[in-house]
Structures are given as structure tokens and as C-alpha cells.
Amino acid sequence: MDRISVIDSHTAGEPTRVVLSGFPDLGAGSLAERRARFRAGFDHWRSAIACEPRGSDTMVGALLQEPVDPDCCAGVIFFNNVGFLGMCGHGTIGLTRTLAHLGRIGPGRHRIETPVGVVGVELHGDGRVTIDNVESYRAAAAVEVEVPGYGKVVGDVAWGGNWFFITEHSPAPLDFGYREELSRYTVAVLRALHAAGITGDDGGAIDHVEISREAPDGSGQSRNFVMCPGGAYDRSPCGTGTSAKLACLAADGKLGEGETWVQQGILGSVFEGTYRAGGRGVLPRITGRAWITGRAEILIEADDPFAWGIRG
Ligand code: PYC
């Protein structure tokens, strides 16, 4: 029987499962090289951890790794029910909270290695976590795509550690009660982007669609609805999505360096974002909070017909 030790948390409603031990050795090399080995040889371990019956469509796994850079406190590879994420903002906040829970880090600034680069994290005394995310930028503005059943949709293509299509067009208010309609729409937009061959730079697949508008609660804040790869919407305001949004706001001259952007997710939970100017785009700082929800030993029995998860 295989045994995998995990700690679960949620960040603003979105779950993260940090894998501490029991995972096969991925060898040495960069986090991107280790992620390639994970994908090629151990994908069934991903589905065992992230998919039903042990996980769910919303679960983001965070495989803890030894960093290459000794200045980093940890390395991590993020994955979900269908594959891998470059970076994951809510997951990094959950990982930081988990490392603090284990006593591996204390309040202050730390660095974490990911397959798309090193990110900074700051654990505040009150439990909030700020991420210094990878440089984020808008690759294309006002891109048009014809979406079957919805017509022409216009949005920006932006990088925030994952590729996003960000639009203000929505068939329904950004209210939790409309989550099924919003899910159908954003999945349709994602499919239309793929069918039209619209990608990020270097053919990078756009795997997140973000609707971004004023919140319907009269707060004057912005709210988003983010569809993730795998068909589940982000319960949190999405750290990489907020980073991509900051890049678009900066490119449009709508948010200045150092100004705070309050980003609600579909549950109304909040991340705060600011940025410094970068070489091509912006260097985002995203602040949010995570809570520990469980500690478990995942067991994989050899004769279990769903030992390696229910795979789509
Ligand atoms: O917070 O960056 C994020 C994220 C990506 C997918 C789910 N959450």
C-alpha cells in the first residue's frame, strides 16, 4: 500500500493540498524539469491525489520539493484534476500558511521556486500572506473571438503565471447564484479560443478565462469569475488571474504603481493587489489569507479499482 502525507487548506475558499511525503523521487534539476518527469512518468499519482474519490475538480495539489536555489525555503509543483499549473497564487498562499503551520517558516520574507520562476512570499504577523508573483503582462488587447451561442466576445490575453483571457462580457451578474451559467459561458469561451487558435506568447495555451466587472454588491470593488483548466471555477479571486488583471489595468493606465486594487472572487472573498513596474509588464504583489482544514495520510490500495483516481 502506498502512503502519501498531505496537509489541506483553503485560500479565500479555494482548496490546496500540500504533498509532504510519500511521493516518488523526481530526481534533480529545475522545477520545470522535475515537472516534465512528473507529467511523463507519474501522472497517475497526480490523479490519485487531486481527482475523486480523494480529491475533487476544485482541488489544487502542491508537491513540495527541495529547491535548487539554497536561498529558497521550498520548491513546489502545482497540479490539478487535469494537469499542471505554471504558478498558482492561492496555492502559494496555502503553501506558505502550511509551511508556517509546520514550523518550517516564521513571519517575514521568503522565496519559493516554481516551474515558472522564483516567487517571493511574505508571511505577516496576523496570518495574511503576500506573494511577489512572477512578472505579469498583457500580450494582446481587445482580442475578438466568436463564441457559439453567445456571439462575439472581446477580451485581453495576459500572463500572470498562467495564460488568461480576460473579458468584461458576461451573460449573467457575477453572483454566486449564477455560477452554473457563468461556468457554461466561460467553458464555451475557452473552447472557442482553442478552436480559433488564439494563444499566449510562443503558442502558450490559454487555460483560464476570467470575467472581470464591478461587484454587484454596491461596494464599488471589482469582482471576477475565473474558469480554471479542468472545468471548475476558482472559489478564490485567483492570484495569477489578479496578477494578469493588474497587468491589463497598468497597460490601460487605469491603476498606478503602488495603488491598491481590491479583487473579489465569486464568493465575495478578497485579495488585494498592487504592482511595481517591470521590464515588460508589472511585478504584482498579491495579499490573501489561507486556513488549514486538515492533515491526512492518503492510502492507495493495490486492488482498489479507483486507486489512481477517476480520470476524465
Ligand atoms: O490562485 O492563481 C491562482 C489559481 C490558479 C488556479 C486556481 N487558482
ipTM value: 0.99
Please identify which of the residues 51, 72, 228, 238 carries the catalytic annotation: 238
Element containing residue 9 per DSSP (H, E): strand 2-11
Exposure on the CB side of residue 118, measured as CA atoms within 13 A: 12
Phi and psi (nearest 5°) for 95?
-65, -45
Inform me whether the pLDDT recorded for 61 exceeds 80. yes
What is residue 86's three-state secondary structure?
coil
Residues 6+ apart with CB under 8 A from 197: none
CA of 304 to the centre of ligand 1 (A): 31
Element containing residue 272 per DSSP (H, E): strand 270-277
Could you tell which of 16, 79, 85, 121 is best to mutate to test the pocket of ligand 1, judged by most ligand atoms within 8 Å of the CB? 85
Q: pTM for this structure? A: 0.96
Supply the pLDDT for residue 276. 98
Q: Which residue from 143, 179, 163 is spatially nearest to 240, judged by alpha carbons?
A: 163
Residues 166-192: tens digit of each pLDDT? 999 999 999 999 999 999 999 999 999
Supply the pLDDT for residue 292. 98
b/e string for 25-60 if b means 16 or more Cβ within 10 A? Answer: ebeeeebeebbeebeeeeeebbbbbbbeebbebbbb
Whether the CB of 134 sits within 6 Å of ligand 1 = no
Percent of the chain with pLDDT over 90: 98
Question: Is 88 part of the annotated catalytic residue set?
Answer: yes
Could you tell which of 116, 136, 162 is best to mutate to test the pocket of ligand 1, judged by most ligand atoms within 8 Å of the CB? 162
- How is residue 116 annotated by DSSP? T
Supply the pLDDT for residue 86. 86
- Alpha-carbon gap, residue 177 to 32, rounded angstroms: 38
Residues in the chain: 312
What number is the average pLDDT over the span 200-208? Answer: 97
What number is the average pLDDT over the span 143-154? Answer: 98
CA of 60 to the centre of ligand 1 (A): 8
- Band (311; pLDDT cuts 50, 70, 90): confident
What number is the average pLDDT over the span 77-99? Answer: 96
Question: Is 72 part of the annotated catalytic residue set?
Answer: no
Whether the CB of 155 sits within 6 Å of ligand 1 = no
Whether the CB of 226 sits within 6 Å of ligand 1 = no
Residues 97-144: tens digit of each pLDDT? 999 999 999 999 999 999 999 999 999 999 999 999 999 999 999 999
